[in-house]
Structure 1
Amino acid sequence: MKRLLKKIFVMVCLVGLFSTAALSAGPKMPGPKDRCPVCGMFVAPYPDWIATIVLKDGQQIFFDGCKDLFRYYLELPEGEGEGTKGEITAIYVTEYYRAQFMLVDEVFFVAGSDVYGPMGKELIPVAGKELAETFMRDHSGSQILTFEQITLDLLPPN
C-alpha cells in the first residue's frame, strides 16, 4: 500500500510539473495559414506585430497588430460562453523593443506615433512607463494608454 501511494504521489507531482511548464511556455506562434479575423491578412509574415487571444480550450486567435486585436476584443460581448470575453484566458501582444510576447497588462500602448505596422498607423506596445514615454517622445506619439483605457474611438483608422 505504501508503495502504491508513493507511485501515485510521484505521478501527481509529474502531472503538476508538466502542466505548469505548459502554462509558462506562453502562446505559440501562428502558422502560415493563420489569418487576422478583422482584416484577413496572413499573420505569420509580420512576427514583430503579432497579437493573440488565448481561449479556454487552448485555441488562439491571431492578429496582425494591436489595432485589429482591439477592434475584435472591444466588439466581443461580456459574459461566459462561446464568442464572449469570458472565453478568453490571456491576451498577448508583441512588445516593440523586445520583439517577444507580453501580456497586455504588462505593457503600455503608445498611440499616434510615426511607427507604422502592417496595416498603417498602429498602437505600439512598450514595456514600462518610462520606456513608453521615451518611445512617445522619439516617435511623435500623442498619448500613452493602458489596456483598460483603449476604446474603439481611440483606434487609428485602417
Structure 2
Amino acid sequence: MNFWLITFVLAAGLFGQAVAGAAAETNVSNAPLPVAKAFQSKLDPVYLIDIDKHPKFEAAIELKNGKRIRFASVKSMMNFYYHPEKYPGYGVSPDGHQIDKLYVRDYLDGKELPAKQAWYVFGSRLVGPHGDDLIPLASKTRAELFVKRFGGTRILSYDELRKKGYGLIKYLDM
C-alpha cells in the first residue's frame, strides 16, 4: 500500500509542476489590456476563456461608440456590467454610461437577441464555460421547454435578473 501512495504523491507532484510550467509559458495576466488590443481579444475579459470555443453561451455589450465587448457567457457579461471599473482596458466608467446595449444568444438556436427580450433559466443541469450560469432563451415558452429537458429552478425575465443584481452573479460564481 505504501508503494502506491508514494507513487501517487510523486505523480501528483510532477503533474503540478507541468501545469505550473504550462501556465508560466502562456503568460496569462490580469493586467489591463491596452484599449486597441482589448476589443480585438478572443478571450473573455472576466474569466479569460476563449469565447469562440463556447458559441452557444456568447454574449456581448455594445458601447455607444459602436464597439463590442464579447463574453463567454451571460454571467461574465453581467459581472462586467455591474463592475466595469475592474476592466480598465475597455474604457467603461464605473457608472457604465458608455454602455448602449446588451446582447445574448438563445441557447437552443444560437440567434442573437437583445438581453432585455430574453428569458433566463437559473439552476439548470447545464454547465456554462465557467461553471453555473444563466441560460438565455428567446421566449418564456422556450425557457419552460428548456427546463423540462435540462432542469432549472427558476425562469427570470431581464427585469427580474436586474433586480437580483450582482448578488446573483456572485452566487453563480461560488
TM score, norm. by length of structure 1? 0.71
Give the superposition deviation at 1:32.
Answer: 7.9
Correspondent of 2:59 among 47, 51, 55: 51
8 Å CA contact 2:92, 2:99 repeated in 1: no
TM score, norm. by length of structure 2? 0.65
Query: Percent of pairs identical after alignment?
Result: 28
Correspondent of 1:41 among 43, 49, 54: 49
Question: Hey, what's the Cα distance between the residues in 1 that align with 2:112 and 2:152?
Answer: 22
Q: Which amino acid aligns with 1:122?
A: D
8 Å CA contact 1:32, 1:42 repeated in 2: no
Give the superposition deviation at 1:70.
Answer: 1.0
Question: Hey, what's the Cα distance between the residues in 1 that align with 2:110 and 2:40?
Answer: 19
Give the superposition deviation at 1:82.
Answer: 4.2
Question: Hey, what's the Cα distance between the residues in 1 that align with 2:40 and 2:129?
Answer: 16
Matching of residue 64 in structure 1 with residue 64 in structure 2: no
- The aligned counterpart of 1:149 is 160
Matching of residue 110 in structure 1 with residue 121 in structure 2: yes
Give the superposition deviation at 1:132.
Answer: 1.0
Q: Deviations over 1:53-110 (max 9, x none)?
A: 0001111111100111111112248xxx942322112111111112121110111000
Q: CA RMSD in A?
A: 2.1
Unaligned runs of 5+ in 1: 1-30
Unaligned runs of 5+ in 2: 1-38, 86-90
Give the superposition deviation at 1:146.
Answer: 1.7
8 Å CA contact 2:84, 2:92 repeated in 1: no
Give the superposition deviation at 1:149.
Answer: 2.0
Question: Hey, what's the Cα distance between the residues in 2 that align with 1:130 and 1:100?
Answer: 16
Equivalenced residue count is: 125
Question: Hey, what's the Cα distance between the residues in 2 that align with 1:118 and 1:96?
Answer: 13
Correspondent of 1:121 among 132, 154, 157: 132
For the residue of structure 2 that corresponds to 1:41, the secondary structure is: coil
